[in-house]
Amino acid sequence: MALTREQMAQRVARELEDGFYVNLGIGIPTLVANYIPDGMDVMLQSENGLLGMGRFPTEDELDPDMINAGKQTVTARPGAAIFSSAESFAMIRGGHVDLTVLGAFEIDQNGNIASWMIPGKLIKGMGGAMDLVAGAENIICTMTHASKHGESKLLEQCNLPLTGAGCINRVLTDLAYLEIKDGAFILKERAPGVSVEEIVEKTAGKLIVPDHVPEMTFVEAS
């Protein structure tokens, strides 16, 4: 069965390490924060200028001057740092963020990503996404493996205008976890109950399937 949004977040969270500075995009990436393992400490970077994002505020703590990159009101955890947008993107562009998690429309076998613009639809802008994909050494993209109409989003070459060229090497879809290397997707794990055949069928780009593709396991929340 395809992974739920929560399971996708859970799987991404396994890539975290203690002491990681992490930037989480909007959507599924945001949910990753809910699955940081006990005893592990991760610091969230919000590109509007906050390192050490905390939980949402109580009514009493609510402050219009304290928001995250999604424009939600947040708090800062003890030991946070707040700075300008130039400093924030110096961190991002300079490769100081350990892990970036973001969504995408399409990924191709050369690590190109399209995530911001669908010609003919209203274009709102790329925000910080182009800086994030160009800057983070370590990016995981999360998206559904195929569109609602069954069209693969893992392509030989992206159709949509790019967000970044050759910068993605890890993708988690609702069906599989894949790495990108030397112009091909490498199937590393599959969702519980999802067959290799289904993944092959729904992957338009070049896919390398190792002899053994382990199934992901998830523990039910108690």
Partner 1 sequence: MSGFDKRVASYEEAMEGIESGMTVIAGGFGLCGIPENLIAEIKRRGAKDLTVVSNNCGVDGFGLGLLLEDRQIRKILASYVGENAMFEQQMLNDEIEVVLTPQGTLAEKMRAGGAGIPAFYTATGYGTPIGDGKEVREFNGRPHIMEEAIVGDFAIVKGWKADWYGNVMYHHTAQNFNPMAATAGKITVVEVEEIVEPGELDPSQIHTPGIYVDRLIQGAFEKRIEKRTVHS
> 79: which residues sit within 8 A by CB, 6+ positions away?
52
Residue 127 engages partner 1 in binding (rule: CB under 8 A): yes
Nearer to partner 1, 55 or 181 (CB): 55
- Could you tell me the two tokens for 135? 């800057």
Smallest separation, CB 203 to partner 1 (Å): 22
Smallest separation, CB 5 to partner 1 (Å): 18
Catalytic residue among 15, 17, 47, 201: 47
Residue 47 is a catalytic residue: yes
Question: Could you say which DSSP state residue 146 is in?
Answer: B
Smallest separation, CB 192 to partner 1 (Å): 30
Task: Provide the greatest CA pair distance for the chain.
Answer: 56
Residue 100 engages partner 1 in binding (rule: CB under 8 A): no
Nearer to partner 1, 102 or 187 (CB): 102
Pick from 214, 199, 207: which is nearest to 2 by CA?
199
Site for partner 1 in 51-90 (CB under 8 A): 51-52, 55-59, 62-68, 70-74, 76, 78-90
49-57, 141-149, 187-195, 201-209 -> range binding partner 1 (CB under 8 A):
49-57
The answer to whether 176 touches 194, Cβ cutoff 8 Å, is yes
3-state secondary structure of 129: helix
Nearer to partner 1, 64 or 193 (CB): 64
The answer to whether 147 touches 153, Cβ cutoff 8 Å, is yes
Site for partner 1 in 132-171 (CB under 8 A): 134-135, 161-166
198 φψ region: left (φ > 0), alpha (ψ -120 to 50), beta (else): alpha
Smallest separation, CB 206 to partner 1 (Å): 19
